[in-house]
Structure 1
Amino acid sequence: MNKTTAILAGLGLLLTASSAMAKDLHVLNWKGYGADEPFATKAFEEMTGDKVVNDFFNSEQEMLTKLRTNPGLYDVVMINAAFMQQALGEKLVQPIDTATIQNYGDLDEAQAQSKMLNVDGKTYGVPWTWGLTTIAVNDKAFDTAPTSIKEMWKEDHKGRVTIRDDAVEAIQLGALATGQSINDVKDMDAVKQSLSELLPNIRTFWSSENDWNQMVASNQIDLGTYWSGSAGRAKTKFNLPVSLAVPEEGAVGWLDSFAIPVGSTNVEGAEKFINYMISPEFYKEWDETVGAPVSASKRAVAALPEDSFNRKVMGAPEVAERVQFQEPITDQQREDYLKVWQSLKVGAN
C-alpha cells in the first residue's frame, strides 16, 4: 500500500468511526416552538454530528401520553413545570446531571431551584423559557391596548373574541376576571358566572398558533387570550398586527423546562441539546428572527437589545407583580375543571 492509499484509507476509517458515533436525537415539543427552528437544528447538528428528529404534541396531556406509550423513544422533552410532578409520579423522566450543562449557571436562580423541577436534591427539569398567558389584541381594533381583562366581555366585541379550548386555562381566566388566585379558586360560582357571560362574545376556540394567527390575518377577531411568545412570533415572523397586553387584573405565568425521559438512548446528546437551547447564541437569534418567550437564562436575556420586549416589558417590576405563576393541580382538580368547562359550553349552545 502506497502512502496516498494509506492516508485515504485512514481518512475512511475516521469518517466511518465519526458516522458510527453520531446518533439520532429525538425531541418532543410543541411545533414551531424554538427547538425545531431550521437554524437551530442546523447549528446543533453541525456542532455535534447528531441528527435532530422532532416530534410534536398539542397539549400537555398528549405529551404525557406519548411518553407513556413510547418508552425509550424520546431523548429530550419539553415539560411545563406545573406538569413535572405528574411526569415524576409516573416515572417518565430521569434526573439530570447539571454539571454536564455548561450554561446551567446562567439560569435565573429562583427558576433553577424551583420545587417543581427539583425533588430530593435531584434536578429533573432545566428551566428553558417563561412567559404569560394573557391578552393579545388585533391592532386594527384598538388605538391603544386595553388595560383590563374585562375588555373581552364588552358588547363591542361580540363574536370577535377567542380563547383556547382548555379547561384549566378557562378556569384561570375566570379566576383573574373575578379577582381570585389562579392556584386557589375560592368562589367557583363567580368563575362560572363570569365565563358564562363571556361565551356569547367567543367567535371560536383556538388550539394552535396557526389558528390564532389566521383569525387575525383575516380580521375575524379583535382580541383573545394568547401566549406571550406566540404573540411575539406573530409580529416578528409573520408581520401580523398583534400586540400583547398585561391587564391590571394580572396574567397567568408559566415556566417551561427541558427534561430527559427515562430510557433515553442518547443522554449525552440530550445534555448537549439542552445546553444549546439555554445558550445566548440560540436565544438571541430565536427572539430577533422568529419571536420568543423570555429565556430562563439571565445571560441570554442580557444579550438582547435594551429596548427589546423581553427585556424592557417582560422584565419590568410592575409587570412581574401582576403575574401569577401556575402551580401543579391534581387529577381530581383537572377533572372538576373539565366538568365545569364542558357544562358551560353546552349551556351556551
Structure 2
Amino acid sequence: MRMPDLTALLTATAVFTSALAFAAKADDVHVLNWKGYGTDEPWAVAAFEKATGNKVINDFFNSEQEMLTKIRTNPGLYDVVMINAAFNDQAMDGKLIQPIDTSKLPNYADISKDKAGSPMLVHDGKVYGVPWVWGLTALAINDKSFDKPPTSIAEMWDAAHKGRVVIRDDAVEAIQFGAIATGQNINDIKDMDAVKAKLTSLMPQIKTFWSSENDWNQMVASNQIDIGTYWSGSADRAKTHFKLPVSLVVPQEGAVAWLDAFSIPVGAKNVAGAEAFINYMIDPKFYVEWVTKVGAPVSANTKAVEALPEDAFNRKVMGDPEVAKRIQFQAPITDAQREAYLALWQQLKVDVK
C-alpha cells in the first residue's frame, strides 16, 4: 500500500487504529457467539470491517455445550469464540482453544486485574481467554405486573404468578438458581435434596422454559409472563433497545454471576484478524456505543465502565458494593456434576404438572 493511501485510511478510521495495526492480512474472521450479543451488531461489524479490511462472518449457538460441539466438530472454521469463563477449562482440556498473545491487544491493559488474572482463563502463565463482559442471571419482571419491584426470589413461588413464571432451560443455571433459593453456595452445593425440592415446588408456576432472548422478549411483549430468570444485559437490551416493560431485580438472596471471554480456537486460520477483532470488542469506544444503542452487560475493561454516565445502570447498580456482596460467580464444574445436574433437570421437566 502506498504511504498516501495508508495515511488517508488512518485518518478516516482514527478510532480504530489499534485494530488496524493487527490486520496483517485482510481476510474473513469467523466468530461464534450467542445471537444478538454484540459481535453481530451491524454498525459494529461495518466499523470493524472498514477499519481492518477483514470481513466478519458470525455463527451462533444456544448453549455452552452446543458451542463446544461446534468447535470440536468444525476444526479450523472459527477464529474467535465467546466462552463463559466457567467453561474455559473444558475447552482448554479438550485442546479446542490456544494461548493468546495479549501483547497484541493494547486494550487488554485496561482489563480489571481480577478479571484478567482469573484462574479460569489463565493457565501456567498463558492466557486462554480475554475477559469481555460480565453480568448476572437474576430476575426480570414485567413492569405491568407489579406496583413495585419485588425484593425476594420467593416472588417466583407466589401463587399470584402461577403459569406466568419462566426459567431458562439450562441444567447448570437452574440448579445454581435452586441453590441460591435454598441459601447455598452455587459452587459448593451441600444439600441437593433441598435444591430438588425447591425446584420441584416451582414447576407448577412455570409457563415455559426459555432458551433465547427472543423467547423471553416475545413473551413479555405479549404480556404472557410476570417474572423469570434473565440475564442482566438482556434485561437492559429489552428496556433500552426494544422499549419493553422490563426491569432487572437482584433479589436479596443473591444472583448467579458469570464472566464471558473471547478465545481463539486451535487451528484458527486468521489469528491476526482474531486479535484485531477481540481488541475492538474490548475497546471502550465500542462498549459505550453498544450500551447506548443496544444495552449490554458490564465491560471487563475498567476504562469502558468509567466512560459511562455515573448514573448508568452498569455503574450505579452493577457497581454497587451491596450488590457485589450478594452475587456468586460461576466456577467450573466437573463432568460428573454436569451429568448429575442434567439428569435432575430433565427429571424435573418431565414431572412438571
TM-score range, shorter chain: over 0.9
**Residue 51 of structure 2 corresponds to which residue in structure 1?**
47
Alignment of 1:2-151 (within 5 A): 21-151=25-155
**Residue 272 of structure 1 corresponds to which residue in structure 2?**
276
Give distance in 2, aligned partners of 1:244 and 1:107. 25
**Residue 235 of structure 2 corresponds to which residue in structure 1?**
231
Larger radius of gyration: 1
* Partner amino acid, structure 1, of 2:276: K
Give distance in 2, aligned partners of 1:290 and 1:164. 22
* Partner amino acid, structure 2, of 1:184: D
Structure 2: gaps of 5 or more residues: 6-22
Alignment of 1:169-188 (within 5 A): 169-188=173-192
Give distance in 2, aligned partners of 1:56 and 1:345. 26
**Residue 307 of structure 1 corresponds to which residue in structure 2?**
311
State whether residues 24 and 272 of structure 2, in contact with CA within 8 Å, keep that contact through their aligned partners in structure 1: no
* Count of residues in correspondence between the two structures: 335
Alignment of 1:223-302 (within 5 A): 223-302=227-306
Deviations 1:97-130 (A, max 9, x none): 0000000111010000000000001001000000
**Residue 207 of structure 1 corresponds to which residue in structure 2?**
211
Deviations 1:213-259 (A, max 9, x none): 00000000000000000000000110000000000100000000000
* Partner amino acid, structure 2, of 1:144: K
Give distance in 1, aligned partners of 2:29 and 2:170. 31
RMSD of aligned residue pairs (Cα, Å):
1.7
Seq. identity, %: 72
**Compared with structure 1, are the counterparts of its residues 185 and 21 closer, same or farther at alpha carbon in structure 2 (3 Å cutoff)?**
closer
> Tell me, what secondary structure is at the counterpart of 1:190?
helix
* Partner amino acid, structure 2, of 1:149: I
| TM-score of the two chains, using structure 1 as the length reference | 0.94
Give distance in 1, aligned partners of 2:252 and 2:68. 34
* Partner amino acid, structure 2, of 1:296: A
Shift of 1:22: 1.5
> Tell me, what secondary structure is at the counterpart of 1:53?
strand
Structure 1: gaps of 5 or more residues: 1-10, 12-18
**Residue 10 of structure 2 corresponds to which residue in structure 1?**
none
The answer on 1:346 being equivalent to 2:344 is no
**Segment of structure 1 superposing worse, 250-259 or 141-150:** 141-150
Moved over 2 A (4+): none
Give distance in 2, aligned partners of 1:91 and 1:205. 32
Give distance in 1, aligned partners of 2:24 and 2:170. 44
> Tell me, what secondary structure is at the counterpart of 2:259?
strand
Shift of 1:21: 3.8
Give distance in 2, aligned partners of 1:154 and 1:219. 18
Shift of 1:347: 1.9
Give distance in 2, aligned partners of 1:202 and 1:114. 36
